[in-house]
């Protein structure tokens, strides 16, 4: 990383309408040259209008944007794909419960210089990114320990500078430094039992995020298009019908989850996996079993099998079909 990289700045503008296919007249600053840190463009990616606008606001106006949503909705990918199209360098940090202050801020490390061992301060990811035109993405923000996350408290302010206590140095953020985060919960912890290991976030910090976008499950047709774009082998008439049923199935599991009947649900990623597995196993039912059903609790499989019957008109083998068809024996009861 040279000073040249640190000097870079957006040198062109792009139209949001053309670039992301959303209905907006925004023009967004962008870099004309790609860099190692710019993510690859996924041409099949579909942008959600609202979330795209939020992320673009983050890039254009230097807002701190948090994207919240259930798992598998493509939150991090969404930010990355926006950055990829803007050629904006992007660094993704996966937070977990073991990331400490030293990892983020930097620490003294032993390095070799002139064949002698010396101790030298090495910047952590936060000061490094802060001085460069980089979009820093904190993934799984709610997995980070809240006491540690206070190190970013000041840089959440737009012009907040960052003090390196170890060096008595104050770092001013680069003009084109951007900060994003993705999270499953909205900082209230593991309420529904789905996201084990998430933390209760400090709401003084939550409050500092300027924009909180929610990326939840998409309308059925959009989701069908996404799956088809991912698995182009299915893009014929029959394949489309199949994918529609698959997406319908996923929608049922989501509503079933919301109603408390299921303890797990199918994310768009599961649907894509299922579609891909269909190509491997050549049998949607088998692929479904291997992709999702085996992740479900034993007691809930009967319900999932019912959903499957609704969508595909097929009884999942081994599920309560045996008892289901015995209904005729009970004739005459309760009269």
Query: Cα 97 to chain center, whole Å?
Result: 18
Residue 311 lies near other proteins (rule: CB under 8 A): yes
Choose which of 110, 165, 238, 333 interacts with other proteins (CB under 8 A). 333
Residue 303 lies near other proteins (rule: CB under 8 A): yes
DSSP 299: G
Residue 306 lies near other proteins (rule: CB under 8 A): yes
Give 38 or 243: the residue with its C-beta nearer to other proteins.
243
Residue 261 lies near other proteins (rule: CB under 8 A): yes
DSSP 140: T
CA distances from 255 to 196, 259, 263, 267 (A): 21, 6, 11, 12
Report the distance separating Cα 71 and Cα 183, nearest Å.
9
**Cβ 69 to other proteins shortest distance, Å:** 18
Backbone angles phi, psi at 249, to 5 degrees: -60, -45
Residue 323 lies near other proteins (rule: CB under 8 A): yes
3-class secondary structure, 136:
strand
Stretch of 114-122, 128-136, 244-252, 269-277 lying at the interface with other proteins (CB under 8 A) = 244-252
Q: What x/- string results for residues 202 through 221 when contact with other proteins is judged by CB under 8 A?
A: ------------------x-
Contact 213, 50 (CB under 8 A): yes
Residue 255 lies near other proteins (rule: CB under 8 A): yes
Choose which of 245, 267, 270, 277 interacts with other proteins (CB under 8 A). 245
Backbone angles phi, psi at 112, to 5 degrees: -95, 125
Residue 253 lies near other proteins (rule: CB under 8 A): yes
Give 154 or 254: the residue with its C-beta nearer to other proteins.
254
**Cβ 329 to other proteins shortest distance, Å:** 8
Choose which of 70, 90, 143, 252 interacts with other proteins (CB under 8 A). 252
Choose which of 229, 244, 269, 286 interacts with other proteins (CB under 8 A). 244
Give 2 or 335: the residue with its C-beta nearer to other proteins.
335
**Cβ 151 to other proteins shortest distance, Å:** 20
Report the distance separating Cα 215 and Cα 151, nearest Å.
27
Residue 335 lies near other proteins (rule: CB under 8 A): yes
Q: Which of 280, 296, 289 is nearest to 318 (CA)?
A: 289
94 DSSP β-pair partners: 139
Report the distance separating Cα 315 and Cα 14, nearest Å.
51
**Cβ 326 to other proteins shortest distance, Å:** 7
**Cβ 177 to other proteins shortest distance, Å:** 34
Residue 222 lies near other proteins (rule: CB under 8 A): no
Burial string for 146-163 (b: 16+ CB within 10 Å, else e) reads eebbebbeebbeeeeebe
Helix 237-258, helix 301-312: angle, nearest 10: 140
Residue 77 lies near other proteins (rule: CB under 8 A): no
Tokens describing residue 243: 């994918």
Residue 264 lies near other proteins (rule: CB under 8 A): no
Q: How many helices (H) and strands (E) does the chain have?
A: 14, 11
- Count of residues that interact with other proteins, criterion CB under 8 A: 44
Neighbours of 88 (CB within 10 A): 26
Binding site for other proteins (CB under 8 A): 193, 220, 241, 243-248, 252-253, 255-256, 258-261, 263, 299, 302-303, 306-314, 320, 323-335
């Amino acid at each position: 990383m040279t000073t040249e990289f640190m000097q870079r700045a957006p040198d062109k503008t792009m139209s949001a309408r053309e670039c992301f296919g959303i209905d907006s007249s925004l023009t967004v600053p962008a870099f004309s040259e790609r860099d190692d840190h710019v993510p690859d463009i996924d041409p099949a990616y579909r942008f959600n209008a609202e979330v795209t606008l939020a992320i673009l606001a983050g890039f254009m106006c230097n807002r701190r944007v948090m994207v919240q949503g259930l798992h598998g909705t493509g939150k991090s990918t969404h930010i990355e794909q926006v950055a990829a199209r803007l050629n904006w360098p992007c660094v993704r940090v996966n937070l977990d419960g073991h990331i400490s202050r030293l990892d983020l801020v930097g620490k003294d490390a032993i390095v070799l210089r002139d064949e002698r061992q010396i101790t030298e301060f090495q910047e952590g990811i936060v000061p490094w990114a802060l001085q460069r035109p980089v979009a820093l993405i904190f993934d799984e923000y709610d997995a980070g320990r809240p006491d540690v996350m206070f190190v970013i408290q000041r840089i959440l302010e737009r012009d907040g500078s960052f003090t390196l206590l170890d060096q008595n140095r104050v770092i001013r953020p680069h003009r084109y430094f951007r900060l994003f985060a993705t999270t499953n919960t909205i900082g209230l912890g593991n309420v529904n039992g789905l996201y084990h290991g998430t933390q209760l976030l400090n709401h003084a910090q939550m409050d500092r995020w300027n924009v909180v976008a929610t990326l939840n499950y998409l309308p059925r047709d959009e989701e069908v298009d996404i799956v088809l774009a991912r698995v182009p082998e299915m893009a014929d008439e029959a394949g489309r019908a199949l994918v529609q049923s698959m997406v319908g199935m996923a929608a049922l599991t989501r509503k079933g989850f919301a109603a408390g009947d299921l303890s797990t649900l199918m994310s768009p990623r599961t649907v894509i996996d299922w579609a891909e597995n269909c190509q491997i196993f050549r049998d949607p039912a088998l692929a479904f079993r291997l992709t999702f059903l085996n992740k479900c609790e034993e007691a809930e499989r009967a319900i999932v099998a019912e959903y499957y019957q609704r969508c595909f008109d097929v009884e999942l083998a081994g599920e309560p079909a045996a008892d289901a068809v015995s209904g005729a024996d009970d004739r005459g009861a309760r009269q």
